[in-house]
């Protein structure tokens, strides 16, 4: 047999957004470590993120992962040149144009399929045309998914519409058909559901769901022990494999530091600062790549952190046009008072290394699935502060199913900027996960889950075995 043909060859095609690219890079590394040839598809300006992550990986032979760039149709979609990543989108108009550009990537991807003849396509769910494109080429399309709980909950809300006929947007409803009793309100749902209108994005979400349901199967960035009842519920009707936490494919400090954009702080300095702190004494505060809080909210966070008396690392991202302003988002003298006790990182932080450090005892997070799973993997309790997207479902999972976090009290889904939270609520939530008996109980549960996560991806673990089963099935399909 030709040595080239004995390897399975898969295409991996994530949406051009940090929170989508990073887990699919991790997934490609997992496949490549098992002898599957992986070709990562992205656009030119996103290539460095892929290159950094792959070059630092000790476990990979370099020829098992290749990167192919396809031109991003910014001009055709009416976008400014250089806007190739969703994290750079700042207005609703640009958001619509970005997803129009995403639609135009079908044709260049088809050319690559014809050229390379891969044995399968792992595509982001925001490429709803990927299922039919893969079928046209006689290969299976696998849809990347995050969490069984949020998927089951969103499917139930979409299908059953339990929010209809309520007397107000704040009246709670139960999500039907779930193993747990989960209440939500209409305010915590996607704005097109709450306001009862259809738009281009809501239609895209609908077609993405339908396309993923028709695909060969779904790969979940989760592990069986984390959500067994929801894995079973989902698998009753659809084909799925759980192969996470994919982030644990990054095993050494170099790999962890190279995941994502270049850190805005010297990694060694950051770790040295943490080394000087007692175990579980530092709270880490970070809201992902797309949340942009107004200065008034940053001021409340600063006051809440100071009042909590806890040591902290706080990652702050502000729009570039605001960055020249004076530090009017901080209370007067805040940084002086916080010297030695707090560290503000303006920009990008080495999150995996921070969460994995023994000094970190809590994580204030927007509940994006990547961050949530990183907290689970590190055994770190959370203060949940959802902003938009599926983050309110993830909050319910953390606080009510896993019981490894406490809510800060956010009531309303507001895209990008979030609902307003006052300093006293922040102070109270931070103290709840950092000090006292309740904090110890939450930390104990978090540690157990962290150990389970590590076992799941080791040889013989549930995720390790599920990945093996998937590779075997893809081999059978090819042969």
CA distances 339 to 51, 263, 274, 312, 335, Å, are 36, 21, 14, 11, 6
- Domain match, 309 and 341 both: yes
DSSP string, 280-314: T-EEEEE-TTT----HHHHHHHHHHHHHHT-EEEE
User: Among 321, 386, 315, which residue's Cα sits nearest to residue 354?
Assistant: 315
Q: Is 254 a catalytic residue?
A: no
- Domain match, 230 and 261 both: no
Q: Give the range of the structural domain holding residue 221, as residue numbers without chain letter.
A: 3-248+459-478
- Domain match, 379 and 337 both: yes
**For residue 398, what pLDDT band results from cuts at 50, 70 and 90?**
very high
**For residue 256, what pLDDT band results from cuts at 50, 70 and 90?**
confident
> What tens digit of pLDDT does each residue of 129-149 get?
999 999 999 999 999 999 999
At 2 the pLDDT is: 39
Residue 304 has pLDDT above 90, yes or no: yes
- Domain match, 285 and 235 both: no
> What tens digit of pLDDT does each residue of 97-108 get?
999 999 999 999
Q: What SS3 state is found at 398?
A: helix
- Domain match, 336 and 449 both: yes
- Domain match, 237 and 275 both: no
Q: Is 419 a catalytic residue?
A: no
At 315 the pLDDT is: 97
Question: How many CA atoms does the CB half-sphere of 392 hold within 13 Å?
Answer: 26
Reported pTM? 0.95
8 Å CB contact between 245 and 29: no
Q: What is the mean pLDDT of residues 340-354?
A: 94
- Domain match, 100 and 235 both: yes
Phi, psi (5° rounding) for residue 383? -100, 120
Instruction: Say which of 9, 20, 190, 366 is annotated catalytic.
Output: 20
**For residue 416, what pLDDT band results from cuts at 50, 70 and 90?**
confident
Largest interatomic CA distance in the chain:
71
Residue 367 has pLDDT above 70, yes or no: yes
- Domain match, 367 and 400 both: yes
What is the overall mean pLDDT for the chain? 93
8 Å CB contact between 241 and 466: yes
> What tens digit of pLDDT does each residue of 316-328 get?
987 654 554 567 8
Q: What is the mean pLDDT of residues 8-24?
A: 96
CA distances 84 to 45, 89, 98, 285, Å, are 7, 9, 8, 27
How many whole angstroms separate alpha carbon 454 and alpha carbon 446? Answer: 13
How many whole angstroms separate alpha carbon 370 and alpha carbon 260? Answer: 12
Phi, psi (5° rounding) for residue 26? -60, -40
Mean pLDDT check: name the lowest of 3-7, 353-357, 413-417. Answer: 3-7
User: Among 382, 386, 421, 376, which residue's Cα sits nearest to residue 399?
Assistant: 382
Residue 373 has pLDDT above 80, yes or no: yes
At 5 the pLDDT is: 47
Q: What is the mean pLDDT of residues 77-89?
A: 93
How many whole angstroms separate alpha carbon 134 and alpha carbon 120? Answer: 8
8 Å CB contact between 11 and 41: yes
- Domain match, 436 and 292 both: yes
Mean pLDDT check: name the lowest of 272-281, 312-321, 409-418. Answer: 312-321
**For residue 19, what pLDDT band results from cuts at 50, 70 and 90?**
very high
Pairing type for strands 120-124 and 141-145 reads parallel
Pairing type for strands 282-286 and 65-69 reads unpaired
Helical (H) or strand (E) element with 20? helix 18-33
Number of domains in the chain: 2
How many whole angstroms separate alpha carbon 414 and alpha carbon 391? Answer: 11
- Domain match, 161 and 277 both: no
Annotate 85-149 with three-state secondary structure.
Answer: CHHHCCCHHHHHHHHHHHHCCHHHHHHHHHHHCCCEEEEECCCCCHHHHHHHCCCCEEEEECCHH
Say what angle helices 369-378 and 18-33 make with each other, to 10 degrees: 50
Residue 443 CB: number of other CB atoms within 10 A?
Answer: 19
Instruction: Say which of 124, 155, 419, 466 is annotated catalytic.
Output: 124
Residue 388 has pLDDT above 50, yes or no: yes
Beta bridge partners of 240: 218
- Domain match, 190 and 278 both: no
Q: What SS3 state is found at 6?
A: helix
Give the domain CATH number at 205: 3.40.50.2000
Cis peptide before 252 (omega within 30 of 0): no
Residue 404 CB: number of other CB atoms within 10 A?
Answer: 27
At 59 the pLDDT is: 59
At 17 the pLDDT is: 94
Say what angle helices 228-235 and 148-160 make with each other, to 10 degrees: 50
At 4 the pLDDT is: 43
- Domain match, 307 and 362 both: yes
């Amino acid at each position: 047999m030709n040595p080239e043909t004995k390897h399975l060859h898969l295409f991996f095609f994530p949406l051009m957004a940090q929170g989508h690219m990073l887990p699919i890079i991790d997934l490609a590394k997992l496949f490549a470590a098992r002898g599957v040839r992986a070709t990562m598809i992205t656009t030119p300006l996103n290539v460095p993120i892929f290159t950094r992550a792959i070059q630092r990986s000790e476990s990979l032979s370099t020829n098992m992962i290749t990167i192919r760039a396809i031109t991003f149709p910014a001009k055709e979609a009416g976008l400014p040149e250089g806007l190739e990543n969703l994290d750079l989108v700042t207005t609703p108009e640009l958001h619509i144009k970005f997803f129009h550009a995403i639609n135009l990537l079908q044709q260049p991807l088809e050319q690559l399929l014809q050229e390379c003849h891969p044995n399968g396509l792992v595509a982001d769910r925001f490429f709803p045309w990927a299922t039919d494109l893969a079928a046209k080429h006689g290969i299976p399309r696998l849809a990347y998914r995050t969490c069984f709980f949020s998927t089951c909950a969103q499917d139930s809300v979409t299908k059953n519409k339990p929010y209809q006929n309520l007397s107000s947007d704040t009246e709670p409803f139960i999500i039907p058909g779930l193993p747990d009793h989960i209440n939500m309100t209409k305010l915590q749902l996607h704005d097109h559901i709450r306001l009862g209108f259809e738009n281009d994005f809501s239609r895209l979400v609908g077609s993405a769901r339908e396309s993923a349901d028709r695909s060969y199967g779904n790969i979940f960035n989760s592990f069986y022990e984390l959500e067994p009842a929801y894995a079973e519920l989902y698998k009753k009707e659809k084909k799925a494999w759980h192969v996470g936490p994919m982030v644990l494919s990054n095993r050494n400090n170099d790999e962890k530091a190279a995941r994502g954009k270049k850190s805005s702080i010297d990694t060694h300095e950051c770790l040295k600062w943490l080394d000087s702190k007692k175990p579980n004494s530092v709270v880490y505060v970070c809201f992902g790549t797309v949340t942009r809080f107004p200065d008034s909210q940053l001021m409340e966070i600063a006051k809440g952190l100071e009042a909590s008396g806890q040591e902290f690392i706080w990652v702050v991202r502000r729009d570039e046009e605001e960055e020249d302003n004076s530090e009017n988002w901080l209370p007067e003298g805040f940084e002086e008072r916080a010297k030695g006790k707090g560290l503000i990182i303006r920009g990008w932080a080495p999150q995996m290394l921070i969460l994995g450090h023994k000094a970190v005892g809590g994580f204030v997070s927007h509940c994006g699935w990547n961050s949530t799973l990183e907290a689970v993997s590190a055994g770190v309790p959370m203060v949940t502060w959802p902003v938009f997207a599926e983050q309110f479902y993830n909050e319910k999972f953390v606080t009510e199913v896993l019981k490894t976090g406490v809510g800060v009290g956010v009531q309303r889904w507001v895209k990008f900027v979030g609902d307003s939270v006052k300093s006293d609520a922040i102070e109270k939530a931070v103290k709840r996960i950092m000090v006292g008996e309740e904090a110890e109980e939450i930390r104990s549960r978090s540690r157990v889950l962290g150990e389970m996560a590590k076992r799941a991806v080791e040889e013989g673990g549930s995720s390790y075995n599920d990945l093996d089963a998937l590779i075997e099935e893809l081999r059978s399909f090819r042969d």
